A and B are shown apart, each in its own frame.
Chain A
Amino acid sequence: MVYLTRKAEFSASHYYHNPEFTPEENRRIFGKCNNPNGHGHNYTLEVTVKGEVDPRSGFVVDLKQLKEILNREVLDALDHRFLNKEVPEFFKQIPTTENIAIAVWQRLSPKLKAAQLHRVRVYETPDLFVDFYGEA
């Protein structure tokens, strides 16, 4: 089994707010991230796929295809967007780093054929990142 990781970057804005909470609860739990006008991050995304090396191509996955899928399914949807308002997953769910990693996984995993998705890692900043392995 060989693991291959592809990196990508996107910039997006978000804010954290749960309409079921009172304004005070929202402020206490989410702090500055509760500002309804939003704020933004430069996210770094690492997508790791795994598989056996194809004896003919020598590839685990055709990087060109992986890049296309990543661009089409993830980056076109998230890059330079206000996540809460423009990305359907986050109309109801809070666009935390955790939920972004899960959303990226769910967008990518059905589209990958040859290789299997192993891990999605999302960096919100260099000192905060989330890993999702597809676990329920």
Chain B
Amino acid sequence: MKAHLTRRYMFSAAHRLHSDAMSAEENRSTYGKCNNPYGHGHNYALEVTVSGPVDEHTGMVCNLVDLDEFVQREILERFDHQNMNMLPDFEREVPTTENLCICIYEIVQRGFRPAHLEKVRLEETMMNSFEYAGSAEVRK
């Protein structure tokens, strides 16, 4: 039997939305307040969904300890209480929550072995959230 397991994590980080490909006016009209030069921050809620057969000996898709350790080491330590514009991950990309969502998906996809990554969901605020499942459709 195949099940999907989702774990939710929190982190806080700063960003400024600004694209070098745009003029100052264009940046302001595109990003509004998010273009303010000193940046601002959010409490992000991250949901990582993995899937796989439920192991008959443990009753689990994967051991939560493994998932928690991986996310702690690879995601939370990288982004929590950081300014994302300063990180190598966003040297060339604007740290929108779209790009952050894709970035987190790719890190988990590359590095996490115990179960298949299904999707990453990221809430920037209580009012907006983003989901990414790589080449697959986001499953509801």
Listed in ascending order, the chain A residues whose CB lies under 8 Å from chain B are 3, 16, 18, 20-21, 29-31, 93-99, 101-102, 119, 126-133, 135-136
A99 pairs with B7, CB closer than 8 A:
no
A102 touches B3 (CB 8 A): yes
| A99 engages B57 (CB within 8 Å) | no
Task: Give the distance in Å from the alpha carbon of A136 to the alpha carbon of B1 in the complex.
Answer: 4
Q: Does the CB pair B1–A135 fall under 8 Å?
A: yes
Among A93, A98, A128, the residue within 8 A (CB) of B8 is A128
Contact assessment for A130 and B8 in the assembled complex, using a CB-CB cutoff below 8 Å:
no
| B3 lies within 8 A of A98 (CB) | yes
Inter-chain contacts of A29 with B (CB < 8 A): 58, 63
Give the complex CA separation of A136 and B140 in angstroms. 18
Report B's interface with A, CB cutoff 8 A.
1-9, 49, 54, 57-61, 63-65, 139-140
* Residue of A3, A98, A99, A101 most packed against chain B (CB within 10 A): A98
A90 to B7, CA, bound (A): 23
Shortest Cβ distance from residue B74 to the other chain A in the assembled complex, whole angstroms: 18
Contact of A102 among B6, B9, B54, B65 (CB under 8 A): B54
Assuming the contacts A127-B8, A132-B4, A136-B1, asked whether A98 and B59 have C-beta atoms less than 8 A apart, the reply is yes
Q: Contact at A98–B9, with CB atoms within 8 Å?
A: no
Once the chains bind, are B4 and A16 in contact (CB under 8 Å)?
Answer: no
Closest to B6 in A: A129
Taking the closest CB of chain A, its distance from the CB of B105, in whole angstroms, is 18
Closest-CB distance, A132 to chain B (whole angstroms): 5
Task: Check B7 against A127 for contact (C-beta < 8 Å).
Answer: yes
Closest Cβ–Cβ distance, residue A27 to chain B (whole Å): 12
| A62 CB to nearest chain B CB (Å) | 23
Chain A residues within 8 Å of B49, by CB: 131
Bound-state Cα–Cα, A130 to B1, Å: 13
Q: Contacts of B63 on A, CB cut-off 8 Å?
A: 29
- Chain B residues whose C-beta falls within 8 Å of the C-beta of A129 in the assembled complex: 5-6
B64's nearest neighbour on chain A, judged by CB, is A128
Q: Which of B7, B60, B140 meets A96, CB within 8 Å?
A: B60
Nearest-neighbour CB distance to chain A for B138, whole angstroms, equals: 12
